[in-house]
Amino acid sequence: MKVLFVYPRKGLFQLTQCSECRYISKCHYCDTNLTTYRKNTNSLELICHQCQSYYSYPIKCPECGALDSVSSAFGGIEELVESLQKHLQVKVKRLDRNKSKKDSNLEKALLNSAIYNAYSGEISVTTRIFDPSIPYSVFDKIIFVQAENLLASPDYLVQEDIIGGVFHLINSIDKDKTEMIFDSSVKIDILEELARNPDAGIENWYYNFLESELDNRKIFGFPPYTNMLLLTSQQNSKEKAWNMIKAAQKDLTKSISKFEGIKIIDPYPARFLKRKNKYSYHLLIKFPRKYKEFAKFRDIILQTSGVYGLQSRLNPKHLF
């Protein structure tokens, strides 16, 4: 039997914390929890996924100084691989490694000549929900580990992206052979429906999902019903970053008061407040599609962004 485990969590552990003072290891340059990786057989290291900074795994807590109090929890793909190898005594193949062009060409040749033998290992794992280079039809079971994590991202497009990936995966499997399992501690209706009957009008189901998603976007004023403009401050000082975005909000509110249909959302901290040693706050502006005053509105935005040193992005995928 050939089994593929899908688990979109990189690294060995997601959280490193002191048991004495509850200090959580974060990047010095970003407001990001560090991910634990195995550096070699006998040592660990901490890596920031935002700026790729590396840190030695702490022997004592950097906050309170307690010895042997630091530990890691909430496992990622590396822990899953180690657990599978330890308890099942099998070799586990990673299918989500970055491949060189040479490796990709070799794998393609293998797949074209003998697709089944190219994946002779009984257990494979990946962090990618859908990867067109993976021959899903050779697997007897595809298991989404802790499937509730699929919907954990704050990205406003996350549900559409996740379901789109699962939809493409289902269209790539041998539906008479491959069983899909969504392992989850919480009830997720859309994933359970897919697991129960992956071949029951999947195209119609997907299109119906997209229609309902459009209805939600209309309610909350997301594209394609409105345009969104995200202005972001980036300053070395947290206070200065906040003052900049508040001053920009005040100026914009006054400047665009004569325009109709524009809404300015109060400033809020970026998901990673501190990133690469700079602090960031967001100011979200919504305005109608095909806006008749867009040229004048754009000039005001560009002028304000220049004065306050703000980054501006139109209809960004990540708003948080």
Q: What is the pLDDT of residues 9-28, one digit of tens each?
A: 999 999 999 999 999 999 99
Q: Looking at the domain assignment, is residue 111 inside a domain?
A: no
**Which run of H or E residues covers position 206?**
helix 202-220
Give the structural domain span for 249: 226-314
**Phi, psi (5° rounding) for residue 219?**
-60, -45
Indicate which CATH number applies to the domain containing 288: 3.30.70.260
Q: Looking at the domain assignment, is residue 192 inside a domain?
A: no
Q: Looking at the domain assignment, is residue 270 inside a domain?
A: yes
Residues facing residue 94 across a β-bridge = 125
Q: Looking at the domain assignment, is residue 126 inside a domain?
A: no
For residues 182 and 142, give the distance between their C-alpha atoms in angstroms, rounded to a whole number.
Answer: 9
Is pLDDT above 60 for 112?
A: no
Q: Looking at the domain assignment, is residue 254 inside a domain?
A: yes
* Mean pLDDT (the chain, rounded): 86
Q: Looking at the domain assignment, is residue 169 inside a domain?
A: no
Q: How many domains does the chain have?
A: 1
Q: How confident is the model at residue 125 (pLDDT cuts 50, 70, 90)?
A: very high
Per-residue pLDDT of 261-310, as tens digits, reads 999 999 999 988 998 899 999 999 999 998 888 899 999 999 999 999 99
Q: Looking at the domain assignment, is residue 277 inside a domain?
A: yes
Q: Looking at the domain assignment, is residue 14 inside a domain?
A: no
Number of H helices, E strands in the chain: 7, 15
